[in-house]
Amino acid sequence: MAQSVSNDALWEKLSEMDKKFEGLSATFKSLAISQEKAENTPSFNEAKNETVASIKGDIRTLGHSNDSHFEANTKNIQMLNENILKTWQVVTRIRKQQKESDEQQKQDEKSCFNFRFFKVRKISLIITILGLLVFILTLFCMKQQNDYTLLIDEYHRQGITVRESDRESEIEGKQQ
């Protein structure tokens, strides 16, 4: 009877053994991994701590460097802001002056006579005309003064001539 074992029973036994081997291999694999982790864990932790320490040191160095650069950048930004404000003020003053000069040119155009070859301001023309009038009045007054002086001289001469003729006539009247 020992030789008469059926194929189905053999296959069942083989499948059970396969399952047990798979379970054992899984157990061995997990044991091997845990042993490797146990062996690697101290060195891994040391390497991890060294890496973290070096990264922290680098971060501190970068932090100090960035702080100094940040301070320099803030100073530069403040200087740039001041320069921009000064430039803006200069630009606004220049624009105001340009607007004032444009307005003044418009007023100058209104206050000028445009002749073919030159421009004459209305005020200059009025001052010139008034100056000519004063000059003409001065000449007229001088002419009148001269005429008056000539008339007075003529009257004075006539008075002297009349006195002389009166004296002569008195002298002739006394002689007669």
> Phi/psi at 119 (nearest 5 deg)?
-110, 140
Encode pLDDT of 70-125 as tens digits: 788 888 889 988 998 999 999 999 999 999 888 887 776 777 777 777 777 778 88
In the chain, where the domains are located: 120-176
Stated pTM of the model: 0.33
Are 112 and 120 within 8 A, CB to CB? yes
Distance of CA 93 to the CA centre of its chain: 10
